[in-house]
């Protein structure tokens, strides 16, 4: 049975950085060569980064991307990596239009090009806008083994490339992917890939991207499954990794080509003879999936880190209020960037409690952050007295003064301002536009309030396991949440209990359930009406909120697109 050593290059590209991504490709292919690999598979669009969005429609970028593929093929050969069959993803352009493409590079040449057939157009994906579908499949024979290729969505949809490869006959399928993370995605991913391997009648090599790109984060979790669905290897989540394994592959000497299952199959022989027998490596460890809270925390850390660093910032600043949301954001920022890159600002007003001030200072001490106190009482008083503000207007000017102060410090020192609002507050509009909503990134934007508490307790428990000081003061977790914009204010004055509220929001926002469905789920009609109205009225605020890492099935932004001007209301 022919042998083959495979390498899965789970890398973190940067969108638009063709030169940097090309260097990354050469570097990681060299690592694969040093490990003795015969084939290395990079993620989908690894040379351009993913998603490129409307960059795909820019002819100059598409042409530069295609040229970069040819350049990388030559560079790999010059670097002594030409004997490794290297699969890279890129943006192509032909007479039909832009293409989500992958190329096979060998001995300094592009020996195969293939375009993604299934173009996703749901959730965060708009690929019908960006790309034209492919209709051909290129199968190459390397060392006597027939290798077919599919690109990301081609394994997530029934029929098409996998069905065609199954009919044509291949010995191995490689699948470059850029599949964004959301909670519990691996519960779907692994069974799906196992099923597709069985349909193709061949082992399947799934290489996924890792890292953050705007509001998306990719978890890696690259895997190899046998034709019978057995998991053979798995890379760790949320970190770059080169997964290397040896396989004994049942080569079938396949010859079918032409039109199969609606696609045209082409074959090319690179080397017909199997490799001489060699001593295989020890089986790589199968990385265990992270626990649910560890997975989410890692996603938030990576999403924040990459947004900050890929956009050229070195530090962040935001309000340290002493509350749970800013404490969790501070702990995330310290894990992502290091405490020295975090600049906390306490901005007390006349309504700020002593415990909020002391909890903020204690938070900064625990994570090693910079900390300064900038009272806003006099600044607020100027607005209140001059404009004679009362009630909600007086409350909101406090938040807006704080937002203005943070942006001034950002301009002064070059920090990126973080918004600390959570998904629950964003859903019901419990935030002040141009106030606590200011910033360039919102790390917990897609985290419901009850989940914020769960993450805080989990992170502290993890610190204790390692013999470290828990980063989040216990008082920030246990005290009743309050915006502290008026005397003795609590969130519960304006909102239902958070556990109840998050249950309703999960059904209404994530599940798109109507009033009758919510009633059938057992919620009180008056509470339903109140919550639904708050959500519907707050769309204009959500549109102006900073981006933040997606972790749920339906995040505000790309996933949920409702008109701002909208007279439809759920009624009972």
As annotated, the active-site residues are 44, 116, 152
The three-state DSSP-derived secondary structure of 196-209 is HHHHHCCCEEEEEC
DSSP states along 392-442: HHHHHHHHHHHHHHHHHHHHHH-PEEBP---HHHHHHT-S-TTTTT-SSB-
Question: What CA–CA distances, in Å, run from 452 to 123, 367, 481?
Answer: 24, 18, 12
* C-alpha torsion sign, points 374, 370, 315, 221: negative
Q: What contacts 455, CB < 8 A, 6 or more positions away?
A: 293, 296, 297, 328, 447
What is the end-to-end Cα distance of the chain in Å, rounded? 67
Question: What CA–CA distances, in Å, run from 400 to 207, 379, 394?
Answer: 45, 11, 10
- Between CA 370 and CA 240 the distance in angstroms is 30
Residue 149's beta-bridge partner residues?
174
- Between CA 155 and CA 216 the distance in angstroms is 20
Q: Is 368 helix (H, G, I), strand (E, B) or coil?
A: coil
Give the burial string for 17-56 (b: 16+ CB within 10 Å, else e): ebeebbebbbebbbbbbeeebbbbbbbbbbbbbbbbeebb
CA proximity to 246, closest of 169, 145, 178: 145
CA proximity to 266, closest of 139, 104, 112: 139
DSSP code for 239: S
């Amino acid at each position: 049975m022919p042998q083959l050593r495979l390498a899965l290059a789970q890398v973190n590209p940067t969108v638009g950085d063709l030169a940097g991504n090309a260097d990354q490709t050469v570097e990681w292919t060299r690592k694969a060569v040093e490990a003795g690999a015969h084939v290395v598979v990079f993620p989908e669009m690894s040379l351009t980064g993913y998603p490129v969005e409307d960059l795909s429609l820019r002819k100059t970028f598409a042409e530069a991307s295609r040229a970069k593929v040819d350049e990388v093929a030559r560079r790999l050969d010059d670097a002594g990596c030409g004997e490794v069959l290297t699969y890279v993803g890129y943006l192509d352009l032909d007479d039909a239009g832009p293409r989500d493409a992958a190329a096979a590079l060998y001995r300094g040449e592009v020996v195969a090009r293939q375009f993604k057939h299934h173009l996703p157009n749901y959730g965060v994906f708009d690929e019908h806008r960006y790309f034209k579908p492919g209709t051909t499949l290129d199968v190459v024979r390397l060392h006597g083994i027939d290798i077919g290729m599919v690109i990301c969505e081609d394994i997530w949809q029934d029929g098409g490339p996998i069905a065609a490869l199954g009919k044509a006959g291949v010995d191995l399928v490689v699948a470059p992917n850029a599949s964004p993370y959301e909670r519990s995605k691996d519960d779907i991913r692994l069974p799906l890939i196992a099923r597709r391997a069985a349909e193709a009648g061949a082992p399947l090599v799934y290489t996924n991207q890792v890292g953050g790109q705007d509001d998306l984060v990719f978890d890696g979790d690259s895997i190899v499954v046998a034709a019978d669905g057995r998991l053979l290897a798995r890379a760790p989540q949320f970190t770059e990794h080169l997964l290397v394994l040896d396989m004994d592959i049942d080569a079938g000497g396949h010859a079918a080509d032409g039109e199969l299952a609606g696609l045209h199959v082409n074959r090319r022989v690179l080397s017909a003879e199997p490799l001489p027998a060699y001593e295989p490596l020890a089986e790589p460890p199968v990385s265990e999936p992270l626990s649910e809270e560890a997975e989410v925390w890692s996603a938030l850390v990576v999403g924040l880190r990459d947004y900050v660093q890929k956009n050229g910032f070195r530090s962040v600043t935001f309000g340290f209020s002493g509350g749970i949301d800013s404490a969790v954001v501070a702990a995330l920022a310290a894990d992502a960037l290091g405490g020295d890159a975090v600049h906390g600002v306490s901005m007390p007003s006349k309504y700020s409690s002593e415990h909020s001030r002391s909890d903020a200072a204690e938070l900064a001490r625990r994570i090693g952050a910079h900390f300064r106190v900038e009272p806003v009482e006099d600044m607020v008083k100027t607005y209140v007295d001059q404009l004679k503000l009362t009630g909600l207007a007086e409350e909101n000017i406090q938040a807006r003064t704080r937002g203005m102060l943070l942006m001034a410090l950002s301009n002064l020192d070059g920090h990126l301002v973080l918004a600390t609002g959570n998904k629950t507050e964003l859903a019901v509009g419990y935030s002040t536009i141009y106030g606590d909503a200011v910033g360039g990134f919102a790390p917990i934007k897609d985290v419901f309030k009850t989940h914020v508490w769960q993450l805080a307790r989990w992170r502290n428990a993890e610190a204790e396991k390692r013999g470290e000081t828990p980063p989040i003061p216990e008082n920030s977790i246990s005290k009743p949440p309050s915006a502290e914009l008026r005397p003795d204010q609590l969130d519960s004055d304006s909102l239902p209990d958070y556990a109840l509220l998050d249950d309703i929001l999960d059904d209404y926002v994530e599940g798109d359930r109507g009033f009758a469905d919510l009633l059938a789920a057992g919620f009180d009609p008056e509470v339903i009406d109140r919550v639904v109205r708050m959500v519907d009225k707050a769309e204009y605020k959500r549109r102006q909120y900073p981006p933040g890492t997606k972790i749920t099935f339906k995040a505000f932004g790309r996933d949920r697109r409702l008109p701002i001007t909208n007279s439809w209301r759920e009624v009972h």
